[in-house]
């Protein structure tokens, strides 16, 4: 069952999960959904939960939809920003394609 973690403290929190990945949480920030096996049995998470610096909550279907919608919105915003940053008339071809064109005789 997926869970989320929320940083209840006043400073950046870096938690190493059981699979070796690290989660960085700003104050008040909630993590993406994580598998409970990544959190269960983790001594640091247990200690921070006892000290009320982290809360671990199961993901409900409504939260899953909200997090998926947020991820989609972030991706859409990033694509829009990238499109705005590209100068007009600029080619979308990669640098490797341009290098191939330069090496071909005319």
* Inter-residue contact 33 to 68 (CB < 8 Å): no
d(CA 12, CA 25): 6
- 0.85 exceeded by the pTM? no
pLDDT tens column, 71-104 = 666 667 766 666 666 555 555 555 566 666 666 6
d(CA 14, CA 24): 5
């Amino acid at each position: 069952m997926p869970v989320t973690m929320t940083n209840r403290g006043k400073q950046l929190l870096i938690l190493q999960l059981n699979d070796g990945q690290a989660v960085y949480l700003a104050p008040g920030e909630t993590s993406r959904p994580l598998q409970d096996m990544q959190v269960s049995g983790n001594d640091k998470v247990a200690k921070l939960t006892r000290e009320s610096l982290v809360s671990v909550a199961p993901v409900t279907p409504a939260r899953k939809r909200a997090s998926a919608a947020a991820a989609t919105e972030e991706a859409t915003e990033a694509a829009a920003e990238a499109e705005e940053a590209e100068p007009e008339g600029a080619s979308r071809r990669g640098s490797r394609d341009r290098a191939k064109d330069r090496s071909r005789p005319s």
